[in-house]
Chain A
Amino acid sequence: MKIDEQITSALFEKEHLSMGTEKEILNSYRVLDLTDDKGFLCGKILADLGADVIKIEKPGGDISRGRGPFYHEIKDPEKNLYWFAYNLNKRGITLNIEKEKGRQIFIKLVQTADFVIESFKPGYLDKLDLSYLKLNQINPRIVMTSITPYGQTGPYKQYEASDIDVMAMGGLMYITGNPEQPPLRISLPQSFLLASAHGAAASMVAHFYRETSGEGQHVDVSAQECVLWEIANAIPLWTLNQNILRRVGSYMSGRWADTKQRLLWRCKNGYVLFYILGGAFGVKTNRAIVKWMEEENIAPEYLKDFNWDAFDMATQTQEMQDQIEIPINKLFTMFTKEELYDQALKRGIMLCPVNTSKDILENTQLKDREFWLDVEHPELGTKIRYPGAFARLSETPLSIKRRAPMIGEHNSEIYHDELGFSGSELKDLQSIGVI
């Protein structure tokens, strides 16, 4: 059997994103999701693992619904694509927990739940007498996950922070950008997505403990610390060598001696990602690149018989590095990114194109893996295409059951069908601004 077949035969049928199944990791577990956009992704991950996630919004809807992008660029809280993307697979209710009646309803829901996720400022829930300790009294099995910029403890716990501030405080900005320009953030907010993804994993740690011990606990996530995970070896570079990793534009530095290696390269119609690596890991790519240069008649003499087996990044000088990079640059500018990637796949060269969203939607690898997910939006009379599963599990495939909820969409299901409020009681709750 060929290696490809061996791998494939070990894989499951294409049911990794079936529309609901019994075999779900968090099937029969409930999540109450009180977060704003700092925490949406956390609940979405738990929902993809099979949990019944109930998104709780303020009456009138979450503030993030007012910020784009919007479906067909129509500014409408029910057409918000950010909301769609990260609240996919959840149910939704409205509830004002600042009102006593709303608070009581929330406590009732906590009795039915396994997880509570929140992203309020530290202390906010304490004031409403809904702290972890309180929830623990109501339901000792509850896992409560709090996602905030700096965590629930420490001198900065009350600091105000949006994405850019956390990216700065977490250290990623300092090492991103051109040296002669200011530090740079990623234009699409990332820090609270990192915190949410970590929050989901940490919630699963607490979940496992709850399942084996019967005890819930409080998971206190710091977005700053999640950004800190992203800064590679910057901390050991400082603690061991007192070397501060600095931004160097589209290069990598701080890996081998004092050299930097180009990462981003211009080609005929865009950019590609490529860098020179030494040691056994780099040999095949380096040889293949030179062979390709030879075929194109642009290989310089000094590279034709280069001993890549003896090539050691640790003793590499910047001059040598630059000498190698000049003809590579020449090769890449002769081709489009599609041509370069096609050759990279054939020749086993470690190179990838810089894809646009259009490229990604058309990518053959993702198509072959049936990655995309077309979810019905009956109100819009269309299906919307979403990124699919973050993991393929052979026994417990992730599942997508529904599009993101509309404002108060499941109020009746939860308040009437489940908690038993009558129609007139619901009207009263609505008129006093509780739901």
Chain B
Amino acid sequence: MSKRVFEGIKVVDFGWAIAGPLTLKYLADYGAKVICIESLQRPDLLRTATPYKNETPGVDRAGYFAYFAANKLSISINLNKHEGLEIARKLISWADIIADSHRPGVMERWHLGYDDLKKIKPDIIMIRNSNQGLTGPAATHPGLGNHINGLSGIVNYVGWPEQEPISLMVAYSDYLVPHFAAAALIGALDFRRKTGKGQLLDISQFEVGLQLLSPALVNYASNKTEEKAKGNSCEFAAPHGVYRCKGDDRWCTISIFDDAKWQVFCRTIGKTEWLIKPEFANLDSRKVNEVLLNNLIEQWTVQHEAEEVVKLLQQAGISSGVVQNAKDLYNDIQLKERECFWVSDHKELGRFSYLGQPSNLSTTKAELYRDAPCLGEHTEYICRELLGITQEEYDKYLVEGVFE
């Protein structure tokens, strides 16, 4: 077992869906005790989405939820009951960090806003993740990460020239926000360790989403230039694109930024006749004749498997890749070697692969030490062991439906 960076740090997550919980994955994977507050009345959105084990729906059989929830604990409490809220308040006294990713206003309904929390625990850190931030005229507008794909404008850069944009299928900012939010949150935790001061973190998914589009925004602000979708082309490289390979929906990418690599490429694939074509003599001419160039390259790639093309090109130092689908990724030898997925036998899901951390730390490597929780799996443990609730009280709550 590696050393755990956040051993002893206590986190309670009132949030749900992706961006909030994924932020806390940083803490859980490095040893913090992260408790998800859940409720049978209102299961996490991801617990009611596919895939399910054996395609049979069930909150504990949902792979989307489990994929991100390794190393966390789950308590089921009904916050609309007085006793449920009492337990929540006890958890706040116990915790170092409280997280929320509901629409601003939801926590206030339970009287669990930052001011309320400070009264319970003066040095608490509260991180609130919302679509558009805690203030401003649109703060309470409901929405999910997919809506941010429109708001941030990233959709404008997905598509082919002169065609309508194509939305990303994924809620891009949901998986992006956690990096920024975790950097700030860990910083706040260290500041608290040194000064004893807690604080409130207000994370707007819209504002974080714009960080990855900064150059385009600065370009508009300075030059009034709206950047546009360019398919798979790049103004600094040719060839640069996706090429069909042998098989059903198999593709590879190739990207060549300079003339020397172009020459190596032609020799490597045995097309020395392209070396003397004036249309392809340099980057500028290859850009002008890019359609012809891409057609010729595809006539070659389509005769080969994507993996073969990439292996051959990489041996010659040519930048390229296989357009990998989920099956390819799962079997990717590089990802395996780096232990990108954490495999375990989950009591409901069976053999299951969790998402690990996308980097390896030399001394404190992240690891799986607890399966993703079933809904409310740790309710009794948390109440009895962590909060010191008596057996009698616990049984009474159980009968009264406080844990539903």
Flag if B146 contacts A356 (CB, 8 Å): no
Residue B148 lies at the interface, judged by CB distance under 8 Å to chain A: yes
B144 to chain A: which residues have CB within 8 Å?
277, 350
Judge if A132 is at the interface, Cβ distance under 8 Å: yes
A357 touching B249, Cβ below 8 Å: no
Q: Give, as a whole number of angstroms, the nearest-CB distance from B84 to chain A.
A: 18
| 8 Å CB contact of B51 from A84, A152, A228, A240 | A240
Residues of A within 8 A of B115 (CB): 6, 9-10
Q: Which of A49, A187, A249 has the most CB of B within 10 A?
A: A187
Q: Which of A94-147 contact B (CB under 8 A)?
A: 132
The CA of A299 and the CA of B197, in the complex, are separated in Å by: 55
Which A residues from 154 to 183 make CB contacts under 8 A with B? 154-157, 159-178, 181-183
* Dominant secondary structure of chain B at its interface with chain A: mixed
**B322 near A81 (CB under 8 angstroms)?**
no
Q: Which residues of A contact B237 (CB under 8 A)?
A: 162
Q: State whether B152 touches A355 (Cβ < 8 A).
A: yes
What 0/1 readout, one digit per residue, does chain B (135-177) give for beta carbons within 8 Å of chain A?
Answer: 1111111111011111111111111100011111111100110
Instruction: Report B-chain residues with C-beta under 8 Å of the C-beta of A287.
Output: none
Give A206 to B335 CA distance when docked, in angstroms: 22
CA distance A149 to B390 in the complex (A): 53
Judge if A151 is at the interface, Cβ distance under 8 Å: yes
Establish whether residues A385 and B187, one from each chain, have CB atoms under 8 Å apart when the complex forms. no
Q: Are B166 and A184 in contact (CB under 8 A)?
A: yes
Nearest Cβ in chain A — how far from B35, in angstroms? 20
Beta-carbon contacts of B197-240 to A below 8 Å, as 1s and 0s? 11111111011101111111111111111111111101111001
The chain A residue sitting closest to B203, CB to CB, is A391
Q: Is B325 an interface residue (CB 8 A)?
A: yes
Are the C-beta atoms of B329 and A171 separated by less than 8 Å?
yes
A202, A239, A254, A390: which contacts B180 (Cβ < 8 A)? A390
Expressed in whole angstroms, the minimum distance between the Cβ of A385 and any Cβ of chain B is 4
Check B362 against A393 for contact (C-beta < 8 Å): no
**Partner pick for A384 among B201, B212, B221, B337, CB 8 A cutoff:** B221
State the Cβ distance, B397 to closest chain A Cβ, in Å. Answer: 24
Q: Are A201 and B240 in contact (CB under 8 A)?
A: no
CB pair A271–B155 under 8 Å, yes or no, is yes
Q: Given that A169-B322, A271-B164 are known contacts, is A232 also in contact with B139, CB under 8 Å in the complex?
A: no
Contact code string A1-14 (vs B, CB < 8 Å = 1, else 0): 00110111111100
* Contacts known (A7-B108, A218-B361, A384-B221); A205 close to B5, Cβ less than 8 A: yes
**B-contacting 9-mer, from A208-216, A289-297, A303-311, A321-329:** A208-216
Docked-complex contact B323 and A7, CB < 8 angstroms: no
In the complex, A219→B249 CA distance in Å?
A: 36
- Digit string of A328-360 for contact with B (CB within 8 Å is 1, else 0)? 000000000000000011001011111111111
Does B386 sit at the interface, judged by CB under 8 A? Answer: no
In angstroms, Cα B314 to Cα A150, docked, is: 13
Which residue of the partner chain A has the closest CB to B64?
Answer: A233
- Max chain B CB contacts within 10 Å: which of A67, A159, A168? A168
Q: Are B167 and A250 in contact (CB under 8 A)?
A: yes
Q: Is the CB of B217 within 8 A of A228?
A: no
Tell me if B318 counts as interface (CB < 8 A to partner A).
Answer: yes
B221 to chain A: closest residue by CB: A385
Is A251 in contact with chain B by the CB < 8 A criterion? yes
CB distance from A149 to the nearest CB of B (A): 9
Question: Is B275 part of the contact surface with A, judged by Cβ < 8 Å?
Answer: no
- From 109 to 138 in chain B, residues with beta carbon under 8 angstroms from any chain A beta carbon are 109, 113-115, 132-138
A369 touches B204 (CB 8 A): yes
**Any B CB within 8 A of the CB of A280:** yes
The B-contacting residues of A in range 34-84, CB under 8 angstroms, are 41, 45-46, 49, 67-69, 71-73, 81-82, 84
CB-defined contacts of B172 to chain A, threshold 8 Å: 230
A218 and B362: CB pair below 8 A? Answer: yes
Q: Which of A256-264, A409-417, A425-433 contacts B (4 or more CB under 8 A)?
A: A256-264
Establish whether residues B199 and A393, one from each chain, have CB atoms under 8 Å apart when the complex forms: yes
CB nearest neighbor in A for B210: A387
For the residues of A in contact with B, the DSSP-based class is: mixed
B48 close to A240 (CB less than 8 A): no
Let me know if A241 and B147 touch, CB within 8 A.
no
Q: Does B59 contact A (CB under 8 A)?
A: no
Q: Tell me if B150 and A354 are in contact (CB < 8 A).
A: yes
* Interface presence of A298 (CB below 8 A): no
Chain B residues lying within 8 Å of A6, measured Cβ to Cβ, are 108, 113, 115
Q: Say if the beta carbon of B93 comes within 8 Å of chain A.
A: no
Give the total number of A-B pairs whose CB atoms are below 8 A apart: 552
Across the two chains, which residue of chain B brings its CB closest to A162? Answer: B255
Asked if B45 lies at the interface with its beta carbon under 8 angstroms from chain A, I say yes
B109/A263 in contact, CB under 8 A: no
B50 adjacent to A241 (CB under 8 Å) = yes
Inter-chain contacts of A348 with B (CB < 8 A): 141-142
Q: Closest chain B residue to A197 by CB distance?
A: B179
- Residues from chain A with Cβ under 8 Å of B63 in the complex: 233, 236-237, 239-240
Q: Which residue of B lies closest to A395 (CB)?
A: B199
Q: Does B326 contact A (CB under 8 A)?
A: yes
- With A7-B134, A154-B337 as given contacts, are A82 and B215 in contact (CB-CB < 8 Å)? yes
Q: Which residues of B contact A201 (CB under 8 A)?
A: 26, 178-180, 182-183, 186
CB distance from A239 to the nearest CB of B (A): 5
When chains A and B are docked, how far (Å) is the Cα of A366 from the Cα of B63?
36
Contact among A7, A67, A239, A279 with B113 in the assembled complex (CB-CB below 8 Å): A7
Which of A186, A212, A371 has the most chain B CB atoms inside 10 A of its CB?
Answer: A186
Say yes or no: B253 contacts A168, CB within 8 Å: yes
Verify A253–B155 contact, CB threshold 8 A. Answer: no
Q: Quick check: A209 and B326 within 8 Å, CB to CB?
A: no
Q: CB-nearest residue of chain A relative to B151? A: A352
CB neighbours (8 Å) of A85 from chain B are 214-215, 218
B363 at the binding interface (Cβ < 8 Å)? yes
Interface 0/1 of A224-243, CB less than 8 Å to B: 11101111111111111101
**Cβ–Cβ < 8 Å partners of B53 in chain A:** 240
Point out the residue from A176, A190, A219, A356 that lies within 8 Å of B153, measured CB to CB.
Answer: A356
Kindly provide the distance from the CB of A289 to the nearest chain B CB, expressed in whole angstroms.
13
CB contact under 8 A between A233 and B169, given known A354-B150, A387-B211 = no
Interface centre among B50, B160, B182, B340 (most CB of A within 10 A): B50
Interface assignment of A406: CB less than 8 Å from any CB of chain B: no
Structural contact, B147 and A351, CB atoms closer than 8 A:
yes
* Interface assignment of B57: CB less than 8 Å from any CB of chain A: yes
Q: Write out, one digit per residue, whether chain B residues 346-370 have a CB within 8 A of any chain A CB (1) or not (0).
A: 0001001101111111111000000
Which chain B residue has the least Cβ–Cβ distance from A389?
A: B207
The answer to whether residues A229 and B147 also contact, given A209-B363, A211-B193, A387-B211 and a CB cut-off of 8 A, is: no
Partner of B340, one of A166, A195, A228, A354: A228
Is A4 in contact with B139, judged by CB distance below 8 angstroms? yes
Q: Which 6 A-B pairs have the closest CB atoms?
A: A236-B63, A273-B150, A225-B358, A357-B220, A165-B321, A25-B187
22 A–B contacts from the bound complex (CB under 8 Å): A6-B108, A8-B135, A85-B215, A86-B215, A154-B338, A162-B234, A165-B253, A171-B328, A174-B324, A209-B363, A235-B355, A254-B51, A255-B49, A264-B167, A273-B149, A350-B142, A355-B153, A360-B217, A364-B138, A368-B137, A393-B184, A394-B202
Q: A187-B229, A188-B213, A240-B349 are in contact. List 17 more A-B contacts (CB 8 A).
A: A3-B104, A7-B104, A8-B135, A151-B338, A161-B319, A162-B319, A168-B253, A173-B323, A208-B189, A217-B363, A225-B340, A237-B326, A271-B150, A273-B151, A348-B142, A355-B152, A392-B134
